[in-house]
Structure 1
Amino acid sequence: MSVEVNKYRKCLYDILKRTEVINHYIQGVKTTGYLGTDIELIALQFRKIIELIALSSLVANKKEYAAMRSKFREDWNARLIFQDLERVNPEFYPKPSKQIEKVNSEGVKYFEFEPIEAGYLSKKEAIKIYEKCGGVLHAENPFRESKDIMQLQKQFPFWIKKIMTLMNHHSIILANKNMVVGLMKGKNDGLPHVTLFGLAENQNIKQFKE
């Protein structure tokens, strides 16, 4: 497995801190003192979070992505990264789940991943939000119809909830069918954690069961 765990974890940490900033502004804990700049600041965080979701998937699929794009180190546009990742691994987008603790018949604890089927940020929604937020990051031409930033502001709480549902506990199936699992906030330290899982051969499965 060739996923660079530290780079993946760094992307998750950056997402985590930016969600905290968004929540502070949504809740009124912080303000720039002007509604326009508040909304622009939040919109910028949403764009960067979606870029980081794309870049974390790039990290997870670096080998295949780099083979297709020699200039992968220069990529930043989420929409274009999603398009290119789709070509090398159709399962590149994170899959949200819940980690359920269970106990087997012998009293041994283990975890199962229960898929989350709704309420998370889909790939299609991510691109729509990315483009909507990009639309308010430039000065408005006074001769054009004004953008309804208040309508945009009303959507922020729903977007952040969907992002956290997607990223809190998620997995990505890699092109080689291994899997990377990400946790945004560890129970003990409140920091992101990343684990790699590989396909077990028959002998390894037998030893694991024993």
Structure 2
Amino acid sequence: MLRDVVQAGSVPLVLGGDHSITRATLEAVAERGEPLHVIHLDAHTDLGEVVPGAGLHHGNVMSVVLAELHHVEAVHQIGLRGVYDAPTHERHDKVRQLGVDGVRNGELPRFLDGIPEHARCWLSLDIDVVDPAFAPSTGTPVPGGLLPHEVKHVVAAAARARRFVGGELVEVGEPQGPADGTGGVAVACMFAFLQGIVDYAEAGWPTRRTSPTSRSSPRSSRSPSRRSSPSR
């Protein structure tokens, strides 16, 4: 079904369960073997080791994607933080990373410039990229995350800069009470992403050759590079 949506020229949004669904979504949006770039917002790298008998899970999904889906040319990770066991760039030469500090230090435009201009892109947004003070209902929250307006800025700026064929939102859990705003934050982030896609189309990309730096959202502060890359 997802492949049919893409082939019809529509832009699907997948509202998923845990992050392990990404392998299936990326396989479905494969189009004649054309390269695909994944823009992955997450507190974690999801580059855990694939252990025999354990199979695919939310902590190793990007390792599985890079090993098995050869049309995935690169994974661009934003919002990483916390403890990790080994620098992911030593294990995966197809991985680029921008941490929370990097977004806040204004490194996002240059990071987006590192994605090929005419690349087909897919957004994989794990809600735990947001600081758990604002989005507590998720499986593996990590303090020190991006604020909701920063995540909205990142996804909108990315969508204005490159051609996205779709995206997914994952790891949103059940509300922990009436004051839990996780769902509202998730919806706002996806609306920002959709608005960025509309802006990209209205601007006439990809025929325009200007830098995505000039297409950053004017409503948000320059935003997150801690090179930290936690595996779950």
TM-score by length of 1: 0.25
Higher Cα Rg, which structure = 1
Higher relative contact order (CA 8 A, sep 6+): 2
TM-score by length of 2: 0.24
